Each structure stands twice: as structure tokens, then as C-alpha cells.
Chain A
């Protein structure tokens, strides 16, 4: 440590004092400052905070049991008893939305964790080793991208019986290609850099170079793509649940709440019932996208603050 901090030991004259305008600032502080300047990103972070909090504390926040049916209160309008109304079986919409947030976030985070893992491994191996291995892996990525994935997704769901676990697995299997391309790009540009050559010269194993030397440099873009990915999975889960192939009732999910709302009779009398689950999906995905964009700018050293 001391060696690198003593420029005189290299034989050159001491460096002039750094100008006062650029004080040494930890990198995370610089990023935080850049992030806080982006208003939409801050709004997104606040929203996300609230939604995650609502999901975690759903059992305490929910005014009612989400699966308790009060048939007399079928399609009750928003009011004192039911802040956001009741559904066609007399269940409290607000409570179901809160518990639905748990499902959406769980599926979103878990499957993105899986797809980030697959994508990082494939991208790192392809980018680090290059050559034929790279070509084969990237052709495979091209093939997966051009699959009509929704059709295969639906086919898989009907085969494996929809459950939270199968949904997470299926979204992980189809979601990794973007990350793989991204990580590969980072590795391609870094594999010939001096610190990698130095590590190689020291005889460090490839696996270690990949994971502890190069990967930390690619962490920014990976986090950004993960953030945007969660929003995408939440949209996908909602669509599958709406089609009846995702989360199965009585477990509440924003998507399957919309499925039972599609009925002209309900739509005529109870506008609140199809409205709120959609607004929740929209807000959550928007929050993830704002945060992702904010992080992208904060991580990008080319963008001045």
C-alpha cells in the first residue's frame, strides 16, 4: 500500500498538488451525487422503497385477510370498509394488492437472480476465452433470442403445471441472453488489458481472473440490466397470470386479479376492480425502469454530473 502512495520511490519528482476543485471523493459518493441529480430516478427509488416495504409488511398493513370472502360485499365500491373496493367474491382489493406485491417481487427478483447468474457465466466464458467457444455460445444466444419465446413459455407452463417455482425457473431460462451479450462485451474489452495480463503473468488461474479480477469491472452494467430485468419479468408474470397460466387463484397476483375482472357485467358496475391491479403493475415497472436508468447514468463515467 505505502509503495503506491509514495511517488518519489519511482524515481520521478513528486507530483504537484492536486488542484482543490477535484477533491478525492469515494467513487460511491460521486455515483450517489450523480444519481440524486436525476429527479425521475429519485422518484423511482422512493416508489420502489414503498412497494418493497408494502410487500414485506403486507400481513400487518393489509386491513383484511386477502382470501376472506364476504359474499354480501361483492363488488363493493371503494369506501370506508374497502379502501379500494371489493372483488367479485367480496375480497378486499387493497389487501389482495398488498399480498400480490409479494408474488410479483418474489418472481421478479428470484428469476432475475437466476438469469443474471446464467448470463454472467455464459458471457464471461465467451468473452474471456474468445475464439470458437465464443462463436458457438453467441450463435446459441442468437438462437434463443429469436425464439418466439412467449409460445415456448406458455407451452412449458402447461407442461410443468404453473406454480411460483416453475414461473421463476422459466423466466430465468428465457431472460439471460441480454446479460450474456452485455457481460461478453465487457470481457472482450478487458481481456487484453494490462491488469489482466499482469494477473496472468503472476500465474493466477483463469477462473480467479474471471471472477475476482474482471467481473467487478462489469458489475455496473450487470446491476443496471438486472434492475430493468425485474420490471420485464413482472410484466411477463402479469401477462401469464392474466391468461390463467401463471399464479393460480386463490393466491392473489396482480395478473390473475385482472383475469376475473374481464367481464362486461363487472366492468359496467365496478370500474375500480380492473383499474387498481393495472396501476400497481404500471407503477412498479415504471419505478424499476427509472431506477435502472438512473443507475446507468450514475455508473457511466462518460456522463458528467
Chain B
């Protein structure tokens, strides 16, 4: 499933690019350029060839890790642009995944163990709010209050310009965007943890454990939580597409120089090779995420065999 899917995505994104009416040469060229120079320029980038030939060439290169050169920033390999940005995106995604899990799972477990209490209702209501709130607006509000008015955080970027590298400075820039990216999935994750925990608490072995006189905390954490975590881990794979999509928006809000921002710039400038490379990488990340979730599932649940 994974490899054919990647293949289909490359074909679709390639086809879309070719359908595009906008031409990068029209954007960057001097309008007075002579026709033969334009043809020569297009020729040098292979833009005059048959579409299938162009696709084949691009796919062949891509398999070898060569995504071609940027059309806008001439001579710069797409691979370099992406490698320069990818660590920032991965760091953002990693930290916000940790934040999302650290906040959602305890909340979900807590509201499952205190079912139908006021706290449970409050947590459920906040999750509803979270699902209905655009994450970029949460970002804007946090920037407005915490950064602009209170000055506690920088308004964007990955580090202070012109200062030597410091972990504290990096963290200071990372906290807000990572938190906002996490909010996008936090509500769903909380609801999911809650229902997963409720399912487990209904099981016979929980009743047995309680009947054996274990303390409630032991039952919840040792017997309940461990089993409730198994389905929560798999949802990680399903969350990945929305995380990667969310990174485009959050990186734009916080001017975070990752591949999401690179993609937005490329999309506005119609920089085909960059756009396609990012689409393929995003698709690859989704596929890897699903694979990872399957593996984790098998590791954590001894009942699963392949």
C-alpha cells in the first residue's frame, strides 16, 4: 500500500503542476527578453520536453535523492533548500507531539476515571472548543497577549538574529509554535484517550484487580493505563497527516523557517521542483508515520503477530 501510494502522489502532483497556467519563466524574466533566449532558458531546464519524459526524468532523479534545482533561486539544488529547513520542521513536530501526548493523555484518563463528574464535563467542553477553534487563531491570540503585550516570548522565527547559539534562546522561540501545533490534535487525542480508558475500565480484569484488593491508583495506572495506551499509540500514525498539514499554517503564523514555510513561498512563486519535492516528502512522512504506528502497535501489544 505504501509504495504505490507514494507513486500515485508523485503522478498526481506532477500532473497538477503541468496543468498550471502560470509559468515560472513569466514571473522571473525580463518582459523584453528575446524569444530565442527564452527558448534556450526553458531548454536548459528541460521545460520543452514531452511531459512523460519530464516525469520519468524527475522520478529517476528523485529516487537517487536528487530533486533538481529551484527555478526561482537559480542554481540552488532543491535538496539543499529542503535539508536546510527539514530539521526545523522535525524539531517542531517532535516537541509538539510530546506536548500533545503529555497534556491529552492525563486529561483523558482523568476524565475517564471521574466519569460524569464536573471535571469530566469541563474537559469534554474544552475539547469541543478546541476542535472548533482554528489553531492559527490560537497562535495569533497567544502572540498578541504573550508576545506583543507582555513581551514574554518572541513573535516569531527560530532564534534571535545575530546572537550566538544558545539552547535557551532556541527553546524560547520553540515553545509557542510547538504548543499551538499541539492544540490542533490535543482535543481529539483527549477524547480518544478518554474513550480508550473507559473501554479498559469496563474489562473483567479490572474488576478482578479491584476484587483482589489492589488500591484504586494501582488498578488505574498499572492495570488500566497500560492497556488503554495501546490504541492511543496507533492514533499517532493517523495524527501525522494533520500535523504535517498544520505545520504549514503554524510555520506561517510564527515565521518558523521549516519546510511548511518553504512550501508556501514556493507555492506563491510557482517554483515547481520545490513544490513537488515538499509534497512527496510530506507524503513520505505520512507513510512512514503509518508504518511506525503499526510497528509500535506490535511492540506494545503482545497479542498482535505479523
Residues in A lying within 8 Å of B, measured CB to CB? 139, 142-143, 146-152, 154-156, 158-159, 231, 235, 238-239, 242-245, 258, 261-262, 264, 267-268, 271, 274-275, 277-278, 281-282, 285-286, 289-290
Closest-CB distance, B269 to chain A (whole angstroms) = 9
Residue in B20, B133, B149, B278 whose CB lies within 8 Å of A268:
B149
Closest-CB distance, B104 to chain A (whole angstroms) = 18
Residue in A155, A239, A286 whose CB lies within 8 Å of B249:
A239
Q: Judge whether B5 and A258 touch: CB under 8 Å.
A: no
Instruction: Please name the residue on chain B nearest to A261 by beta carbon.
Output: B140
Query: With a CB–CB cut-off of 8 A, which chain B residues contact A290?
Result: 128
Closest-CB distance, A40 to chain B (whole angstroms) = 8
Query: With a CB–CB cut-off of 8 A, which chain B residues contact A142?
Result: 1
Query: With a CB–CB cut-off of 8 A, which chain B residues contact A156?
Result: 16
Residue B287 at the chain A interface, CB threshold 8 Å: yes
Q: Which of B1-26 contact A (CB under 8 A)?
A: 1, 5, 8-9, 12-13, 16-17, 19-22
Query: With a CB–CB cut-off of 8 A, which chain B residues contact A289?
Result: 128, 131-132
Q: Judge whether B282 and A158 touch: CB under 8 Å.
A: no
Among B62-70, B89-97, B240-248, the stretch that binds chain A is B240-248
A159-B129 CB under 8 A given contacts A148-B279, A148-B282, A239-B134? no
A146-B241 CB under 8 A given contacts A154-B267, A262-B140? yes
Q: Judge whether A235 and B22 touch: CB under 8 Å.
A: no
Query: With a CB–CB cut-off of 8 A, which chain A residues contact B132?
Result: 231, 235, 281-282, 285-286, 289
Number of interface residues of B (CB under 8 A): 50
29 interchain pairs (CB within 8 A)?
A139-B1, A148-B244, A148-B282, A148-B285, A150-B246, A150-B249, A151-B279, A154-B264, A155-B16, A155-B267, A158-B22, A158-B267, A158-B268, A243-B252, A245-B267, A258-B136, A258-B140, A262-B140, A264-B148, A264-B155, A267-B140, A267-B143, A267-B149, A268-B148, A274-B144, A281-B137, A282-B132, A282-B134, A286-B129
Instruction: Please name the residue on chain B nearest to A242 by beta carbon.
Output: B136
| Bound CA span A271–B145, Å | 9
Query: With a CB–CB cut-off of 8 A, which chain B residues contact A239?
Result: 134, 136, 249
Residue B263 at the chain A interface, CB threshold 8 Å: yes
| Bound CA span A63–B140, Å | 27
| Bound CA span A286–B125, Å | 10
Residue in A149, A267, A282 whose CB lies within 8 Å of B245:
A149
Residue in B140, B253, B283 whose CB lies within 8 Å of A147:
B283
| Bound CA span A139–B16, Å | 22
Q: Judge whether A159 and B249 touch: CB under 8 Å.
A: no
| Bound CA span A154–B279, Å | 10
Q: Judge whether B144 and A155 touch: CB under 8 Å.
A: no
Residue B197 at the chain A interface, CB threshold 8 Å: no
| Bound CA span A150–B282, Å | 10
Closest-CB distance, A280 to chain B (whole angstroms) = 10
| Bound CA span A278–B142, Å | 13
| Bound CA span A258–B134, Å | 11
